[in-house]
A and B are shown apart, each in its own frame.
Chain A
Amino acid sequence: EAGVAQSPRYKIIEKRQSVAFWCNPISGHATLYWYQQILGQGPKLLIQFQNNGVVDDSQLPKDRFSAERLKGVDSTLKIQPAKLEDSAVYLCASSQGSSWGRNGSSYNEQFFGPGTRLTVL
């Protein structure tokens, strides 16, 4: 089974420029996530899609960040204009949604792509 795909892997831009990241989730995964991870910290959720609808974008800086998942499969995250503090790794992840274990409990596992390391100069 192919994993989560992301591109590009690295990007260097100057402040005030724009940048876009692409993600293709694991086949059949309805939920797609974009995270920002700053060195030494855990991933911070930026936006969560369920199919092509937004479930949670409460921590997305909407004045400069936008994301879409038009056909419910792959997604793009855009930053315009970029700031120095946007330098981070941008992680895309996907999950299938609730599944049922043998003991009757439900569970949901999330898998990450390789990430895009963004440097803003």
Chain B
Amino acid sequence: QKEVEQNSGPLSVPEGAIASLNCTYSDRVSQSFFWYRQYSGKSPELIMSIYSNGDKEDGRFTAQLNKASQYVSLLIRDSQPSDSATYLCAANSRYNFNKFYFGSGTKLNVKP
């Protein structure tokens, strides 16, 4: 099992809907998780970090961490076409806190 796994998508949602992106992780990662947004041809941009079990909200974005089930989610409310991008899930290594594992990314398409 890879350390961090994501469905590659594409995930298509209509404008204004809620987009739900999911990520599962293995025992080799620690309890710090990150969501990056990557537009085509651009580098990853950190949009959310979550370290505690439960929900963390920032504007239209909500990150959810469920340690018991070993998954982390990103919800995007009121999705906009400008949200169309690839979303990367990342986590710190349990054994090297400065090492990050990345998923392969989920491509999100928000249709007007």
Residues of A whose CB lies within 8 Å of any CB of B are 31, 33, 40-43, 45, 48, 50, 55-56, 89, 91, 95, 97-98, 101, 103, 105-115
Contacts and interface: CB of A to CB of B under 8 A. Distances in A.
A41 to B, nearest CB: 6
A98 B31 CA distance: 13
Interface string B42-56: 111110010110000
A91 B34 CA distance: 17
Contacts, number: 67
Contacts of A113: 43
Those 8 A-B pairs whose CB atoms lie nearest each other, nearest first: A42-B102, A112-B43, A115-B43, A42-B104, A31-B98, A105-B51, A112-B44, A107-B32
Contact of A41 (B90, B100, B104): B104
B92 interface: yes
B45 to A, nearest CB: 7
Contacts of A56: 96, 99
Given A42-B88, A101-B51, A111-B46, A106 B99 contact: no
Interface-centre pick from B88, B100, B105 (highest chain A CB count, 10 A): B100
Contacts of B45: 112
